[in-house]
Structure 1
Amino acid sequence: MGLLASVILMARTVTAQKFKWAQVPAAVKAAFAKHFPGVTAKWEKEDANYEAVFHQNGKEMSALFDANSKLSETEVAIPIAALPAAIHQYIQKNHLGKKLKKYHILYYFS
């Protein structure tokens, strides 16, 4: 399984709608419970995908599942101070004057 990690520097523009637990397909709930046992999430629908937003080990996270319950990506919010110096330099050079609110590490699964 290939894994690609990248730092998200700016918020993604995605149309998401809040979903209640009862609206999430059983297979998606089961897949979430398998990957994140004992964790409670708030759910959103992104196009044909289901996104679980939750906290685990004190970190803000999210996981994206397709309609077939396959985990396609996870995100972990990280504090600005935890970013490597090279990332800070890149931001200062390429996003001068912009205030970035959140940083995430994004993992894609194939």
Structure 2
Amino acid sequence: MKRQIVMILAAMAFTQANAQQKKETPVTPGNEAKAAFNQKFPGATKARWEKEGADLEVNFEMNGHEMSAVFSPKGQWQETETEIPVKALPANASRYLQEHFAGQKVSEAARIEKADGSVRYEAEVGKKDILFDASGKWLK
């Protein structure tokens, strides 16, 4: 019985370590995705590509900002996330965070531009990402 438990725990640990490694493993993008990235973000530096589900996410720096963008393997741009100062969040988002996460630090904030033209904001509190629409209304 003890041996079975040890085997199950070992298998779980291996699976978790393997999943984390796959998530963080850099990938080489195809020509279409790479060309679309270079066209949309000329002058970007330190590009690091990784898989995000069926798509590709590229983390990079541009004009002094840390950014990421998601492209389909065929090069269709889906969204861009740009790190912003926490104080740059919309006022409604800041109020929501003060009311619902009083005393907790917002460690990161970002502006997310979607392919459909919509804008969202993201605030990281603890290990949670809190999403807001363009006006700062809480989404999830």
TM interval, short-chain normalised: 0.7 to 0.9
Match of 2:33 among 28, 31, 49: 28
Partners of 2:41 and 2:97 in 1: how far apart? 32
Identity in percent: 38
Structure-2 separation of matches of 1:19 and 1:28 = 15
Instruction: Please tell me whether residue 56 in structure 1 is matched to residue 65 in structure 2.
Output: no
Larger RCO (CA under 8 A, 6+ residues apart):
1
- Over 3 Å counting, the alpha-carbon distance change for 1:93 and 1:62 in structure 2 is same
- Residue 25 (structure 2) pairs with residue 18 (structure 1): yes
Q: Secondary structure at the match of 1:51?
A: strand
CA RMSD across the alignment: 1.7
Task: Give the match for residue 49 of structure 2.
Answer: 43
User: Is residue 69–residue 81 contact of structure 2 (8 Å, CA) maintained in 1?
Assistant: yes
Structure 1 position 87, deviation (Å): 2.2
Q: Which has the higher helix share?
A: 2
4+ residue stretches of structure 1 with deviation over 4 A? none
Larger C-alpha radius of gyration, 1 or 2? 2
Q: Which runs of 5+ in 1 are unaligned?
A: 1-14
Gaps of 5+ in 2: 1-21, 117-140
